[in-house]
Amino acid sequence: MTARSTCPYCGVGCGVLLRADGQGGLDVQGDPDHPANFGRLCSKGSALGETVGLEQRLLVPRVNGRETGWDDALQRVADRFAGTIAKDGPDSVAFYVSGQLLTEDYYVANKLMKGFIGSANIDTNSRLCMASSVAGHKRAFGTDTVPGTYEDLDAADLVVLVGSNLAWCHPVLYQRLLAARKARGTRIVVIDPRRTASCDGADMHLALAPGSDVALFNRLFAEICERGALDDAYLSHCNGFDETLDAARNDDMSATGLSDAQIAAFCRLWIGTERVVTIFSQGVNQSTSGSDKVNAILNCHLATGRIGKPGCGPLSVTGQPNAMGGREVGGLANTLACHLDLENADHRAAVRDFWGAPSVPDGPGLKAVDMFRAVGRGRVRALWIIHTNPAVSMPEADAVRDAIAACPFTVVSDITDRTDTARLADVLLPATAWAEKDGTVTNSDRTISRQRKVLPAPGQARPDWEILADVGRRMGFGAVFDYDGPAAIFREHAALSGIAGRFGRDFDISGLSRLTDAAYDAFEPRRWPIAQGRSGGRFFADGAFFHPDGKARLLPVKWKPPAARTEPRYPFRLNTGRLRDQWHTMTRTALSPRLSAHMAEPFLELHPADAGRLGIASADLVRVTSAVGAAILRARITDAVRPGQVFAPMHWTGETAPSARIDALVAAATDPLSGQPESKAGVVAVARYAAAWYGFAVSRDAMTPGADYWALARTRSGYRAELAGSAPVRDWEAEARRLFGRPNAEVASLLDAKQGTARIVLHEGRVLAGALYVSSQPVAVKRDYLATLPGTEAAGAFTGRPPADMPNPGPVLCSCFGIGINTIVQAVEDQGLMSVDAIGAALGAGTNCGSCRPEIAELLQGIRTREAAE
């Protein structure tokens, strides 16, 4: 039987068709009828079936490392939370939750903390993702409303991507945008300090200085006024015009680092195009001026009336599958349920009465950064972390890890115990995973979709809402946590939203408050609001806003530099971000060999001029240091970053590459309004890491690397690892046996102490169990070929390269079809292929999810440039 469900990764919220094979496996296809993706999936969504196995799953509750029953574990949680509250008050406990939670889970967590524990100390990893958008929306509109829809991309003539690498981070939306461009010639502008994959399809790339977006949009605002492009009728629905214009005119455009001509060209294009959508994401939000950046963008759309109409408007795209659902239930420390306001006494009273709660806190709780600081200072003494990995993903991650470790009582609910955070828990609670649970999620354009259970809950795993409700009952809060399933929670949430609707709020799904269980089961994707007389669509075309006077607010904002300044000790600006084929801290995507093939180890991008000055060669390792942490990463020398800037991905953890936990280097400076940390403008020093030796290993089974630097990745035949160390190793054979955990395997080795090289091959029976290659320089072997050898009888592991007559596809570029770079280059040269489409027609590369098309385009461009120079 096929079930319609939703992809659990990014905020696009693609529909998927799931079919269980009856043996724990899952077939995953795009849902052709889902309005978010119409059948398309990106590489991550396509590989979901590879991530549902039970390897690494947490299956039984654990207390202090001992397996136990649910009764014991949950009673302990309830008793410790109740005891801590009794002694030190409700603000001595906290929940840190996640945009991975379903809305029903989120709702129960928020109700338990804000309604019954009596604290607002619940925050979510969405704080790191889009809190600045929430703050900007609320300041401008009076509520956290996303005005537009995905259909606007189909109708726009200009789409501006600000701080958004849509091609990698929201690939299905990007493919939709490219399709629109093909159909109607949509122009695309990318505003990003770095040249990303999204630039390959763009008409204009503005590589502005990090953090200077406010100055650019202020210039645009001033130009809109000076060129007479204001929509005067629409402006009658807005306050604050004069102050905003004054601030915009007096801002410092030079802060952008862009030329006058570049800025003028952008302003001309934006002003001259009526149907313009501005998409913004982490490059805007993750900043100490994130809220101001959002408002600088919104100001331009409001002043021109380009909002809420087909093909027009600002569109914040969220990082997580249910960041929007978390916003709806009030899962942030400074929000109340259903877009009501914590600071409003009438709103609080309404929610309190609806829940039958003793009280609702009258002020915000601790936002993420402050929450972990409070844990570190001993002010929060009982902490429940649900489906997130703050010991890696929070800024100043080392300090956060230490704070969690020192917390008197930490509970972690997760699907695995193999995370940096789960290893610190006193109580570990096994939760059901994505394909094992029922509920709803809301995507970036307000579309609510069902997630449906298609696999049985393994071991003793339970849904999160059930775990939370059980603890609520055990803490004595009784029948208000007696739910018989997620549909009952959904109905309650929908009913509460009706009260919000009566207060004139935007989020109203009260039309679903009487949904039967059967109707909930059959629920089709729908965009909110869903209430009597209100349904889906866009907001604000009519000029009706949610501030008490019904008007929008233009906000006078001015450019402020990032919190940290570069200085001689830390001369580089560090940008962090996502890769195409990995997700967050890799707890799921790292299980997929297909996804791991794209970029198998962490890296630091730096400009050739900087690399040359520092004596860093391609494939060297570099040591990156900031005032709060350090990392060792592989150097990737590229002019995609500008001189003085470096970029590193945020995915690697203590489980996959302990020296590459990049958020350990990011200082916890936050936007004063949104509390969102500045993850894209840290300052660091970079130096060549003087390794005594470098290694590369492949293995059939898991390895236990113990080097200064290591990075582990899955392959179809087992694992691969990059290694390096600063201390010499005396006995490489013994080290190989230890690394592969095979003390009795048959070993063949080729050692050259003078050259500092070693090649050690371990066999068990006739098959290769592992092979280790060591050199005093970065190891030069054919990694993709060697990764196929473990578990086979193939000869030639010693040489480190395939036999001469065997094709070598090279590193995988198209994950869906496993097509390597060498295969593409060969086909281009042999067949004279001149376009990405021609390569697709010849090889299939880029014809499934399309996520690799920008990289194919870049490869093609490189070949053409090379040929032209020859």
Restricting to residues 669-708, which ones interact with ligand SF4 according to CB under 6 A? none
For the beta carbon of residue 739, count every other beta carbon within 10 angstroms: 24
Restricting to residues 701-740, which ones interact with ligand SF4 according to CB under 6 A? none
For the beta carbon of residue 273, count every other beta carbon within 10 angstroms: 18
Q: CB-wise, 7 or 431, nearer to ligand SF4?
A: 7
CA–CA separation, 278 and 120 (whole Å): 33
Q: What tokens does 722 get?
A: 């990059």
Q: CB-wise, 146 or 496, nearer to ligand SF4?
A: 146
Instruction: Look at the alpha carbons of 77, 79, 80, 85 in this order and tell me if their dihedral is positive or negative.
Output: positive
Question: Which residues have CB under 8 Å from 685's CB, separation 6+?
Answer: 569, 570, 571, 572, 624, 625, 626
Q: CB-wise, 44 or 598, nearer to ligand SF4?
A: 44
For the beta carbon of residue 421, count every other beta carbon within 10 angstroms: 25
Restricting to residues 560-579, which ones interact with ligand SF4 according to CB under 6 A? none
Minimum distance of ligand SF4 from residue 22's CB (angstroms): 24
Q: What tokens does 322 get?
A: 């249910």
Query: Do 721 and 713 form a contact (C-beta atoms < 8 A)?
Result: yes
Minimum distance of ligand SF4 from residue 16's CB (angstroms): 7
Minimum distance of ligand SF4 from residue 48's CB (angstroms): 8
176 binds ligand SF4 (CB under 6 A): no
Minimum distance of ligand SF4 from residue 14's CB (angstroms): 3
CA–CA separation, 665 and 650 (whole Å): 11
Question: Which residues have CB under 8 Å from 254's CB, separation 6+?
Answer: 215
Which window, 7-15, 236-244, 703-711, 720-728, contacts ligand SF4 (CB under 6 A)?
7-15
Q: Alpha helix (H) ranges present in 51-170?
A: 70-88, 103-110, 131-141, 151-155, 166-169
10 binds ligand SF4 (CB under 6 A): yes
Of 171, 463, 543, 846, the one binding ligand SF4 (CB under 6 A) is 171
Minimum distance of ligand SF4 from residue 393's CB (angstroms): 17
CA–CA separation, 311 and 416 (whole Å): 43
**Total of chain residues touching ligand SF4, rule CB under 6 A:** 14
CA–CA separation, 773 and 698 (whole Å): 9
Q: CB-wise, 645 or 851, nearer to ligand SF4?
A: 851
41 binds ligand SF4 (CB under 6 A): yes
Q: CB-wise, 48 or 312, nearer to ligand SF4?
A: 48
Minimum distance of ligand SF4 from residue 32's CB (angstroms): 14
Q: What tokens does 808 get?
A: 């070598």
Q: CB-wise, 37 or 196, nearer to ligand SF4?
A: 37
Q: What tokens does 260 get?
A: 């006058």
Which window, 6-14, 257-265, 395-403, 625-633, contacts ligand SF4 (CB under 6 A)?
6-14
Q: Which amino acid is at 643?
A: P
> Comparing C-alpha atoms, which of 774, 618, 595, 614 is closest to residue 696?
774
13 binds ligand SF4 (CB under 6 A): yes
CA–CA separation, 471 and 81 (whole Å): 9
Of 4, 127, 138, 170, the one binding ligand SF4 (CB under 6 A) is 170
User: What residue is closest to ligand SF4 based on CB?
Assistant: 45
Q: What tokens does 684 get?
A: 């660091």
Minimum distance of ligand SF4 from residue 583's CB (angstroms): 7
Minimum distance of ligand SF4 from residue 491's CB (angstroms): 26
CA–CA separation, 713 and 389 (whole Å): 19
Query: Do 732 and 744 form a contact (C-beta atoms < 8 A)?
Result: no
Q: CB-wise, 13 or 142, nearer to ligand SF4?
A: 13
- CB-based burial, 73-111: b 16+ in 10 Å, e otherwise: bbebbbebbbebbeeeebbbbbbbbbbbbbbbbbbbbbb
Give the burial class of 23: count Cβ atoms within 10 A of its Cβ; 0-12 exposed, 13-18 middle, 19 or more buried.
exposed
Q: CB-wise, 148 or 498, nearer to ligand SF4?
A: 148
7 binds ligand SF4 (CB under 6 A): yes
Q: CB-wise, 175 or 291, nearer to ligand SF4?
A: 175
Q: CB-wise, 15 or 562, nearer to ligand SF4?
A: 15
> Comparing C-alpha atoms, which of 432, 492, 378, 448 is closest to residue 110?
492
Query: Do 574 and 684 form a contact (C-beta atoms < 8 A)?
Result: yes
Residue that is written with structure tokens 């889970």 in the block: 105
Q: CB-wise, 597 or 816, nearer to ligand SF4?
A: 816
Cα dihedral value 431, 434, 437, 443, nearest 10 = 120
840 binds ligand SF4 (CB under 6 A): no
Q: CB-wise, 38 or 798, nearer to ligand SF4?
A: 38
Restricting to residues 800-829, which ones interact with ligand SF4 according to CB under 6 A? none
Q: CB-wise, 282 or 299, nearer to ligand SF4?
A: 282
44 binds ligand SF4 (CB under 6 A): yes
Of 172, 624, 668, 814, the one binding ligand SF4 (CB under 6 A) is 172
Query: Do 852 and 174 form a contact (C-beta atoms < 8 A)?
Result: no
Of 20, 26, 28, 42, the one binding ligand SF4 (CB under 6 A) is 42
Q: CB-wise, 14 or 366, nearer to ligand SF4?
A: 14
9 binds ligand SF4 (CB under 6 A): yes
99 binds ligand SF4 (CB under 6 A): no
Minimum distance of ligand SF4 from residue 324's CB (angstroms): 13
12 binds ligand SF4 (CB under 6 A): yes
- CB-based burial, 238-259: b 16+ in 10 Å, e otherwise: bbbbeebbebbeebebebbbbe
Minimum distance of ligand SF4 from residue 163's CB (angstroms): 18
Minimum distance of ligand SF4 from residue 9's CB (angstroms): 3
Which window, 10-18, 414-422, 515-523, 796-804, contacts ligand SF4 (CB under 6 A)?
10-18
CA–CA separation, 738 and 547 (whole Å): 65
Which window, 167-175, 283-291, 539-547, 613-621, contacts ligand SF4 (CB under 6 A)?
167-175
Minimum distance of ligand SF4 from residue 435's CB (angstroms): 13
Q: What tokens does 748 get?
A: 């063949």
**Run of H or E residues at 819:** strand 819-820
Of 35, 45, 675, 677, the one binding ligand SF4 (CB under 6 A) is 45
Q: What tokens does 498 get?
A: 């009706």
Q: CB-wise, 62 or 170, nearer to ligand SF4?
A: 170
Specify the 3-state DSSP secondary structure of 827: helix
Q: What share of the chain is helix, strand, coil (3-state, %, to 5)?
A: 35, 20, 45
Q: How does strand 15-20 pair with strand 2-6?
A: antiparallel
Q: CB-wise, 45 or 770, nearer to ligand SF4?
A: 45
Q: Which residues bind ligand SF4 (CB under 6 A)?
A: 7, 9-10, 12-14, 37, 41-42, 44-45, 170-172
